[in-house]
Structure 1
Amino acid sequence: MATHSPTHVLDDYYLAIALLITVAYQLIGFTIAFTFKFDKITDFMGGSNFVILAIITLSMGGSTHARQIVTSIFLMLWAARLAGFLLFRILKTGKDDRFDDKRDKFLPFLGFWVFQMLWVWTVSLPVTILNSPNVLRVQQPSFGKATDIIGIIIWALAFGLETISDAQKYRFKQGPGKEPGAVCDVGFFKFSRHPNYFAEIMTQVSIYIIAVTPASYGALPSGSGAYAALYASCVGFILLTSLLLFLSGLPLQERPGAKKRYEKGIGWPQYEKYLHDTSILIPMPQAIWRNLPVIVKRTIGCEWPMYVFDPAKHADQSKVHNREAEEGRHESNGDDRNSSEPLN
């Protein structure tokens, strides 16, 4: 059912108009951020872009079918929550350290924004294509299919997990996390070192599961472009997953974080135990993870060798020796002062 016939804009899948909107919106953000050296809008511009695309494509499609509405709302809720949280966090911290070496350099800074354009446009694809004329021109399967129900359940659980784990980590950093060497093992972080990443991936997987229903239930002919386009929109959650696993997420936190703690001697024994006991990504009880064979952890457990920190291979031993020598001098000085004190 539709309030009006889908509006055709540039192509039958809204790919071009979604790209143009994204490029224009992100260039506005880049111009403001670069001109005023202003970090506070970067993540907000990314998150709010998803909301804009969902609203515009849903409106142009003219559909009142539950599936189009639900997937659009799910994307908007996820993006609005993420954008709001990141904006709140940056307002508290004041600046984004990611841009310390880019903020004053036009091309490197622009490169980040171009990549953000690609991220927004690609991850939005399931909703963009589902709302498009080529999908809506056929009779849609009734809402409530198995894929709809499974997708809704996964989305609700993942959205809750991401929201709560972000809040738990933020509260930890504002309290116990201020102590040197503190390990964030509260709440969901007892079951995963990165529950928010796992949840973010699953929210996008769930939206895809719902969005692909017209193709998976035969409403779209298997040889049609719309059929292929819906299935191909899996590139959205694949890109998001790839970013978190191979570029901006785990690679920046796992081995570098362990290396920093080890070299500086900041709570390393506690953190080493946390690494051993806690799943890197997929939430599970520590009793299960710690007893899994290493081969399972290094494969389907996602704790791949690229994340694992080996002090003998990856630590700068000169920094360790210098720290230990400095600590030894402090202890020696302390002993000397104590030995000079009169005995009572």
Structure 2
Amino acid sequence: MTTEAKEPPRLARDRAWIAAAYLAGLGAALAAGWLTRERHPLLVAALADLAGTVVVFAFSMAFDNSSVYDPYWSVAPIPIALYWAWLGLESGSPPARLALILMLFFIWGIRLTQNWLARWRGMGDEDFRYRRIRERTGRAYWPASFLSIHLMPTIWVFLGMLPAWAALARPGRPFGWLDLAACAVTLAAILVEWLADRQLRRFLRERKDKAEILDKGLWAASRHPNYFGEVLFWWGIFLFGIAAAPDEWWTGVGALSILALFLFVSVPWMDRRMLAGHPEYRRRLQTTSGLVPWVRKKS
């Protein structure tokens, strides 16, 4: 007879605290949204987003772990998209577009959050980047954590959501071929990110030596294919915005800012970490694309 592996009690308790943090954050966001409901939908969503961030930050401080905030990236866009879609229903936005975008946000958000939960080992597990910031800032860590770990990603994701406002909350153009193209790009992005994460999990589980470097599958063509999938997702959302309201092209600043985040912050940071622990990683830097999957260069 086989028995199912049970979740350690401490991990189950810590996950319950994460759920409580996000429910409290959602409550604060709903309250902020209600109090500002007569304002522009972008401002309403921004203030609600900020309120949710502050509450989750309070839980990060309470548990002395900034990784409490990590799922916010994939959780917050869902209620924001739902709010804008509700406005879109009232203003006459094409139902097919609303349904497609909401479906994609739910698939992306649930998958990304589940992937984080599968890796997270509890309140004793904090992202290595946050530990570095803690070491460098000392007593100023929590102000630094709020600004750099909590507030800045909230701003980045909100910028990425700008095209979703154009596509969901406004009446927009009729549903058409560009919506289908946007759906294809966004679905492809989710698939790439899912496959890259799956390959990484399998590699970490099956590798015999910690010195091994993943260079198979999508990871043979890109050093960070999971990041590529994430960036591509936001460009897919931008295409939906263009399909609905070409005059809101300026919302592309969101996809551009997320691209810049990964190109100039996330990729270099991970590369430095890999190089510090794996000197042979330098060859991978020379031969393999940092973000976009591409043919390897000859060393």
Question: TM bucket by the smaller chain?
Answer: 0.7 to 0.9
Structure 2 residue runs of 5 or longer lacking an equivalent are 1-33
Letter in 1 for 2:262: L
Quote the Cα distance in structure 1 between the aligned partners of 2:37 and 2:166.
Answer: 13
Quote the Cα distance in structure 1 between the aligned partners of 2:273 and 2:252.
Answer: 31
Are the counterparts in 2 of residues 29 and 42 from structure 1 also a CA contact under 8 Å?
yes
Q: CA deviation at 1:275?
A: 3.5
2:107 corresponds to 1:99: no
Quote the Cα distance in structure 2 between the aligned partners of 1:191 and 1:272.
Answer: 15
Partner residue in 2 for 1:250? 267
SS at match of 2:212: coil
Are the counterparts in 2 of residues 51 and 80 from structure 1 also a CA contact under 8 Å?
no
**Which 4+ runs in 1 deviate beyond 6 A?**
none
Partner residue in 2 for 1:203? 233
Q: Deviations over 1:223-280 (max 9, x none)?
A: xxxx2xx211111111111110112x11102244324433xxxxx2xx3443343222
Q: CA deviation at 1:122?
A: 1.1
Distance 1:274 1:114, change over 3 A: closer
- After TM superposition, the structure 1 = structure 2 runs for residues 1-344 of structure 1, keeping only pairs within 5 Å, are 9-12=37-40, 14-62=41-89, 63=93, 65-91=95-121, 94-100=125-131, 101-102=133-134, 105-111=141-147, 112-132=149-169, 135-136=170-171, 140-145=172-177, 147-176=178-207, 179-216=209-246, 227=247, 230-247=248-265, 249-262=266-279, 268=280, 271-286=281-296, 289-290=297-298
Q: CA deviation at 1:91?
A: 2.7
Percent identity of paired positions between Structure 1 and Structure 2: 23
Are the counterparts in 1 of residues 166 and 245 from structure 2 also a CA contact under 8 Å?
no
Q: CA deviation at 1:86?
A: 1.6
Are the counterparts in 1 of residues 94 and 174 from structure 2 also a CA contact under 8 Å?
no
Q: Deviations over 1:149-168 (max 9, x none)?
A: 22122122221011110111
Quote the Cα distance in structure 1 between the aligned partners of 2:225 and 2:154.
Answer: 25
Letter in 1 for 2:253: V
Quote the Cα distance in structure 1 between the aligned partners of 2:112 and 2:226.
Answer: 11
TM-score by length of 2: 0.77
How many pairs are equivalent? 255
RMSD: 2.5
Letter in 2 for 1:253: M
Are the counterparts in 2 of residues 205 and 237 from structure 1 also a CA contact under 8 Å?
yes
Letter in 1 for 2:251: S
Quote the Cα distance in structure 2 between the aligned partners of 1:46 and 1:169.
Answer: 20
Structure 1 residue runs of 5 or longer lacking an equivalent are 1-6, 217-226, 263-267, 292-344
Q: Deviations over 1:258-315 (max 9, x none)?
A: 24433xxxxx2xx3443343222221233xx338xxxxxxxxxxxxxxxxxxxxxxxx
Are the counterparts in 2 of residues 126 and 207 from structure 1 also a CA contact under 8 Å?
yes
Q: Deviations over 1:101-152 (max 9, x none)?
A: 43973211211211122122111111123222xx22xxx433232x222212
User: Which structure has the larger Rg over C-alpha atoms?
Assistant: 1
Whose helix proportion is higher, 1 or 2? 2
Are the counterparts in 2 of residues 33 and 41 from structure 1 also a CA contact under 8 Å?
yes
Partner residue in 2 for 1:311? none
